[in-house]
Structure 1
Amino acid sequence: MPALQLSRARLPATTTIDVLDAYGDSRQQAIAAERALTVYLNKREIVTLMTLGDDPEALVVGYLRNQGLLRRAEDLLAVQVDWEVESAAVVTDYLPDDLDNRLSTRTVTTGCGQGTVFGKLLEQTSLSALPETPLAQSTLYQLLTNLNTYNETYRSAGAVHGCALCHQSRVLDFVEDVGRHNAVDTLAGHQWLNQAESSSADIFYTTGRLTSEMVLKVAQMGISVLVSRSGVTQKGVELAERFGVMLIARAKGKNFQAINTANRLTLDAIPAKPPSARTSKEAGI
């Protein structure tokens, strides 16, 4: 099998502009980059993504993987990104037989303008049984603490979402992009392009909402624990129950909402309830 031809077209995630602050002072401020990248699969135009541009090859591979347009990493022959023409050319020796039908049927999801599922991926996806990964409350708290040091672009510029592949409380890989789906797609690309680095991942973290598309993408990556500081949608819960994914929503500080735990969550670090959260009986009234 020939070696994969892979460009290295990484660009800075931020740029700087002049701003006027509330005190009337002018200063330089970092802002998130936003670049258009049109993806071509064997010369077929697939989609245009808006991205930071700091890891375009992994983003493109992960996007095509999560849309079911790539079957396996070994089918990839070339991924070439050219920012002068804002395009990514992907060459593969495999194309789905029903590619035209898939491209003609699209579901626009809640992905902040970029969420699209081709064909009937949400309904037709069939996955092998996911691992029943256990999680301790204390491990979750430690993971949330560890994640605080990884959001470099958000801290300097804002306007981005972050996603991470984790093994219990250890962060294996962290990605930021202008959309949460870009971030999860980039991590899916990393799984294929840098397999050894993420092979032990058993928890996925995102700053975005736990929607049906997010649950589907994480399940496709073989991960059964999905953690977010944001909330969850009805369809997200339905797919989590279907695929066996435990959801940990609104995970901030010592708070969280666990859904579809299937007895996999161990409550070994229960915090004291604040007075406002106590029942009358607990408060001695």
Structure 2
Amino acid sequence: MPNFPSIIKTGIAPVQTEEVEVFDEYGEKLIKEVACERPLTVLLNWKEIVTLMTLGSRPESLVLGYLKNQGFLHDPKAVESVIIDWETQSAAVVTSENIDHLDKALSKKTVTSGCGQGTMYGNVMAELEHYQVPQIQLKQSDIYATLEALTHFNDTYKKAGAVHGCAICRGDEILSFVEDVGRHNAVDTLAGEMWLKQESGEDKLFYTTGRLTSEMVIKIAQMGIPTLLSRSGVTQMGLDLAKQFGITTIARAKGLRFQVFSGAEKMDFDVKGQNKPETK
């Protein structure tokens, strides 16, 4: 994470999981872990924007990625401070950037199918109307290598479930991985990190455990990442947008199985049937 002019964190840092008593189907008591969800109200120059439900693992990246993806912020160098206060469950971002457009953007709100967020503001699609992500070739073997590397992550999910994981990958290297209660929070956290570092998405792949809805595809397009890989499925609108932006969309990816929904012409099926699982 790059240095800010000021990062202030107050209150007790939130834990990711906690132990609870549960009973199995035989009535026997067990000790299990659950994911810890809490609200975080986002303020921009002290104007309340939204309340996100989050694990709170990397809150400064989350709120900056959210504000950037919503079109509220454009210049990372103008960010003066991020104040995380877990006592009031708030995150205040102070910027010198002109945000006179904020009231107009807030007046146009679309409730989406997102979990943990599910809201998009302003005229985001107008900015992406003629946008295309960089076009790259991708090997079948690269997908297998990425999926294998990802098996070493998902710590909170393995302990408690109830969360989504997202990752920025390059080849079989996992550059950054984050979990949160909503897949949108996870992607915004990674977007915030990339935005502050001014990293290009051209040579990267984005992985998510969640479904590929329209707003998820829009966020990946905003990050300039050409390949989207999901353990889950894709919606019709998500697929339409992926095709519009030129994003190679791979879903239902687990083990040696995956399905290419868009961009198959950019795939090199170099493994072909060598490791194809038997059809049951």
Q: TM-score, normalised to structure 2's length?
A: 0.91
- Structure 2 residues without counterparts, runs of 5 or longer: none
Residue number in structure 1 paired with 2:175:
172
Q: Structure 1 residue 148 and structure 2 residue 151: aligned?
A: yes
Secondary structure at the aligned position of 1:146 is classed as helix
* Equivalent pair of 2:201/2:223 in contact (CA under 8 Å): no
Shift of 1:120: 2.4
Q: Structure 1 residue 206 and structure 2 residue 181: aligned?
A: no
- Structure 1 residue corresponding to 2:238, chosen from 230, 236, 239: 236
Residue number in structure 2 paired with 1:161:
164
- Structure 1 residue corresponding to 2:142, chosen from 139, 144, 148: 139
Shift of the 275–216 alpha-carbon distance from structure 1 to 2, 3 Å rule, reads closer
Q: What CA distance in whole angstroms lies between the structure 1 residues aligned with 2:123 and 2:198?
A: 28
Q: Structure 1 residue 250 and structure 2 residue 252: aligned?
A: yes
Residue number in structure 2 paired with 1:40:
43
Shift of 1:117: 0.7
The amino acid of 1:267's aligned partner reads F
* Equivalent pair of 2:43/2:93 in contact (CA under 8 Å): yes
Of the structure 1 ranges 10-19 and 28-37, higher mean CA displacement relative to structure 2 is found in 10-19
* Equivalent pair of 1:135/1:168 in contact (CA under 8 Å): no
- Partner deviation per Cα, 1:214-259 (whole Å, 9 max, x = no partner): 1111111110100001111111112112211110011122222212
* Equivalent pair of 2:112/2:215 in contact (CA under 8 Å): yes
Of the structure 1 ranges 15-24 and 75-84, higher mean CA displacement relative to structure 2 is found in 15-24
The amino acid of 2:213's aligned partner reads T
Residue number in structure 2 paired with 1:4:
5
Shift of the 130–118 alpha-carbon distance from structure 1 to 2, 3 Å rule, reads same
Q: What CA distance in whole angstroms lies between the structure 2 residues aligned with 1:113 and 1:166?
A: 23
* Equivalent pair of 1:162/1:206 in contact (CA under 8 Å): yes
Q: Structure 1 residue 110 and structure 2 residue 113: aligned?
A: yes
Residue number in structure 1 paired with 2:195:
192
Q: Structure 1 residue 20 and structure 2 residue 23: aligned?
A: yes
Which structure 2 residues correspond to residues 73-84 of structure 1 after superposition, within 5 A? 73-84=76-87
Q: What CA distance in whole angstroms lies between the structure 1 residues aligned with 2:104 and 2:131?
A: 25
Q: TM-score, normalised to structure 1's length?
A: 0.89
* Equivalent pair of 1:5/1:77 in contact (CA under 8 Å): yes
Q: Structure 1 residue 274 and structure 2 residue 275: aligned?
A: no
- Structure 1 residues without counterparts, runs of 5 or longer: 277-285
Q: What CA distance in whole angstroms lies between the structure 1 residues aligned with 2:203 and 2:141?
A: 18
RMSD of aligned alpha carbons: 2.1
**Structure label with greater radius of gyration:** 1
Q: What CA distance in whole angstroms lies between the structure 1 residues aligned with 2:29 and 2:279?
A: 45
The amino acid of 2:278's aligned partner reads P
Q: What CA distance in whole angstroms lies between the structure 2 residues aligned with 1:14 and 1:194?
A: 29
